[in-house]
Structure 1
Amino acid sequence: MNDPMYNRLPHTGDFEFESGTEAFYLSPKPLPTGSAAFSGQRMHRAVSDVFLDFAHSASGLEFAVRASVGSVIFMMIFFFLVNVLLAGSSFYHGWPFWSNLIEYVKNPFLWGFTAVHILIAGVPLYKSIHQITSVPPVRFNRQRREVAYVRQKGDPPLIVPWEEVIACVTAGTTVNPYAVMHSYSLMIGLRDSISGEVVWLTLNVGHLSLAVSEWEALRVYMEEGPLALPEPLLVDEEFQEGTVAYFHMCRGVYREMHSWPVYAFGFLTIQFCSGWTLPCRFSEWIYTRPKAAFPDSIREWSKPLPAEQHAKPSAELVRQSAELRQAMSKGQSLFGYYKVKFSEPEAPLANEKIH
């Protein structure tokens, strides 16, 4: 994401447009965004006065499993219907229907293509599961004002000063013959000061404002502590996104808001073909499996420090934060302060007043 037009690492307020994707940088330095701090995906696995662990939740894995299962089942149903049509055509010309259908279904090329499709869908899913279970979460230590990340087991941890963490929100569009799809994400970059390499962690969200709010939740924790984090909207984890209870809750809402034909073909058929509650149960099972432990050096690094040893924000961060808060108190938004305007349909967000 680093654009050579700056001839430097990005700063808060930088705006980029590349290959149809717009990116606005929120850090470094991690200045106030004016948005409400919010995390809608159970990203905060552990929170204390010393550190916060940030990792992908079960909802993201549930969607990945559902998409993989759905694509495979859709392909199998498509091939079956094609075989039925071919067998029907043969029957019309005097050939036996059922024997031809069986021969079509037994076609090795058909099953070979299906196996390749399963492999294509399964490999990324396996990598996601391996990433969740084998790599510790990103740990934000507010007393040291540092962030630690372990790429994989056996690798030395990457520790980055909090004020040097790169964060940006992105908005992009994908155009196909049927629709224009909008995508938004929060990207967190951890730069190795020795090699200069930046490790990017990407969180896909449904709206640009949600990406800003996810980052704001991390920022207020690091700057103000765990009491500044918002209470979850759903206190009962049973109803968190990606769970079986959440699935049935959505099913009930969909049924109430739509007619029976729309409910039958718009929800029941699609969800049945994508595994029904199986992706929810599988993702919850993976989410509750023992995760990779932090190395001894990070466990030592995570121990509480005496108050006099707590790291303090830099004078530059304090000055810039005060200037931005003053502008926001006069009704200016973060995007307006930096004279940034995202393309439609996100333009109204750039003019929104944040208090």
Structure 2
Amino acid sequence: MNSKVAQKSKVGPLLKEDYLSPLPLPTGELPADSLNIIWRKNNVFMDVGYYCIASGVMVMWPSMMLCLWIAYITNDPAVLLLGGAIFSVPIVLMLRSLFVPVPLPIRFNRQRREVCVSVAKGEYWVVPWETVTAMGTESSTINQAGKQTQGLLLIGFTNPDPDGNARNKNFTIGFNCGGGISAMKLWECMRSYMEIGPDAVEDPPDNVHHPKGILATYWRDLVKAAGQKGWPLAIVWDGFFGIFIFNALLVIALERLKLNPPPELTWPEIVEWSKPIPPEQWAKRSPELEAAIAQREAELALRD
């Protein structure tokens, strides 16, 4: 990807690619942190990380409950043995993940307009913000069950060392948020923070900063859901299904266990790099980006 194709789309029969950056131009969508990737945020930097143990729990727990229910109503021990054989490996892998350090976040420094990304154990890159690439991908498969679509937001970084190893020229991280508008909204969290400011992006969720206990947090989320969809639907979906089918309380507990607090960038150079600098020393947009944003905003105004 390059600046010539930013804000362009490539559409095929079963594949769609939205090129979002560079240059980091407005997408026309509002930022939405659908995956809770914002771990820290202040006026200097924002940490973005991806730890998805919740999806594993929410997939395995309903299947395990279904297996137990079938074993109960059929009174057949073979069902339990089959369930144990099916779920033993995923459970072991999940338990193992609880003892593995959480990957370090990507740090976006809006005052210096640079991004720090950990590319290997003990190694990091600091790259200019305007060189970061972003692309939303959406691919579909067709089978007997119908059409199934999956998507990612891919964010790429180029090694700032021109003499670096040829095998270590690029680094890419993917966020399993779905493609299309979902990818644009997630990308807007990073773009809006860097180009507009901290107030343009929502605060980190309670699975990272949790002033209340697990039950109090769950009750607050239930009340919030009731305000959005009404109490009957909130009690059925967020209440019954949330606790008994998807085990939301276990999800909250595991996320707090691993993200309390989120991992920190401790390299001395990055600690110094993350400190605030006087406003007169803040990095500015490039003239190319300034002109491109003005043109893009005019296009969005006409579209609205």
Q: What TM bracket, shorter-length normalisation?
A: 0.7 to 0.9
1:199 to 167, 172, 178: 172
Query: How far off its partner does 1:251 sit?
Result: 8.4
State how far apart, in whole Å, the 2-side matches of 1:215 and 1:312 are.
Answer: 21
Partners of 2:111 and 2:282 within 8 A in 1: yes
Q: For residue 292 of structure 2, what is the aligned residue in structure 1? A: 320
Partners of 2:67 and 2:80 within 8 A in 1: no
State how far apart, in whole Å, the 1-side matches of 2:290 and 2:258 are.
Answer: 41
State how far apart, in whole Å, the 2-side matches of 1:254 and 1:179 are.
Answer: 32
Partners of 1:65 and 1:125 within 8 A in 2: no
State how far apart, in whole Å, the 1-side matches of 2:146 and 2:59 are.
Answer: 18
Residues 116-164 of structure 1, C-alpha deviations (whole Å, 9 max, x = no match): 532135426744x567x43221100112211111245x42112221111
Query: How far off its partner does 1:180 sit?
Result: 3.9
State how far apart, in whole Å, the 2-side matches of 1:247 and 1:178 are.
Answer: 34
Partners of 2:119 and 2:171 within 8 A in 1: no
Mark the runs of 5 or more structure 1 residues left unpaired by the alignment: 3-7, 85-100, 332-352
Tell me whether 1:245 sits opposite 2:219 in the alignment: yes
Query: How far off its partner does 1:28 sit?
Result: 0.8
Query: How far off its partner does 1:12 sit?
Result: 0.6
> Which amino acid in 2 is paired with 1:192?
N
Q: Radius of gyration: which is bigger? A: 1
TM-score, normalised via structure 1 length:
0.66
State how far apart, in whole Å, the 2-side matches of 1:39 and 1:294 are.
Answer: 25
State how far apart, in whole Å, the 2-side matches of 1:225 and 1:268 are.
Answer: 39
**CA 1:126–1:180 in 2, change beyond 3 Å: closer, same or farther?**
farther
State how far apart, in whole Å, the 1-side matches of 2:111 and 2:301 are.
Answer: 29
Q: Is the deviation greater in 306-315 or in 20-29?
A: 306-315
Query: C-alpha root-mean-square deviation of aligned residues, in Å?
Result: 4.1
Q: For residue 53 of structure 1, what is the aligned residue in structure 2? A: 47
Number of equivalent positions: 292
Q: For residue 111 of structure 2, what is the aligned residue in structure 1? A: 143
**CA 1:13–1:288 in 2, change beyond 3 Å: closer, same or farther?**
same
Residues 70-103 of structure 1, C-alpha deviations (whole Å, 9 max, x = no match): 3334345445656x4xxxxxxxxxxxxxxxx5xx
Mark the runs of 5 or more structure 2 residues left unpaired by the alignment: none
The DSSP-based 3-state class of the residue aligned with 2:174 is: strand
State how far apart, in whole Å, the 2-side matches of 1:233 and 1:73 are.
Answer: 28
Tell me whether 1:224 sits opposite 2:224 in the alignment: no
Tell me whether 1:256 sits opposite 2:223 in the alignment: no
The DSSP-based 3-state class of the residue aligned with 1:16 is: strand
Query: How far off its partner does 1:296 sit?
Result: 1.7
Partners of 1:12 and 1:27 within 8 A in 2: yes
Partners of 1:247 and 1:277 within 8 A in 2: no
The DSSP-based 3-state class of the residue aligned with 2:177 is: strand
Percent identity among equivalent residues?
24
State how far apart, in whole Å, the 1-side matches of 2:131 and 2:28 are.
Answer: 20
> Which amino acid in 1 is paired with 2:187?
W
Partners of 1:238 and 1:245 within 8 A in 2: no
State how far apart, in whole Å, the 1-side matches of 2:191 and 2:48 are.
Answer: 12
Q: For residue 131 of structure 2, what is the aligned residue in structure 1? A: 164
Q: Is the deviation greater in 285-294 or in 315-324?
A: 285-294
State how far apart, in whole Å, the 1-side matches of 2:61 and 2:181 are.
Answer: 30
Query: How far off its partner does 1:189 sit?
Result: 1.7
Tell me whether 1:32 sits opposite 2:26 in the alignment: yes
State how far apart, in whole Å, the 1-side matches of 2:33 and 2:140 are.
Answer: 24
The DSSP-based 3-state class of the residue aligned with 1:157 is: strand
Residues 189-218 of structure 1, C-alpha deviations (whole Å, 9 max, x = no match): 22324332232231415x743431222232
Q: For residue 119 of structure 1, what is the aligned residue in structure 2? A: 89
Query: How far off its partner does 1:30 sit?
Result: 0.5
State how far apart, in whole Å, the 2-side matches of 1:302 and 1:125 are.
Answer: 34
Matches within 5 A, 1:181-200: 181-193=148-160, 194=164, 195-200=168-173
**CA 1:81–1:248 in 2, change beyond 3 Å: closer, same or farther?**
same
The DSSP-based 3-state class of the residue aligned with 1:38 is: coil
TM-score, normalised via structure 2 length:
0.75
Structure that is richer in strand per residue: 2
Q: For residue 22 of structure 1, what is the aligned residue in structure 2? A: 16
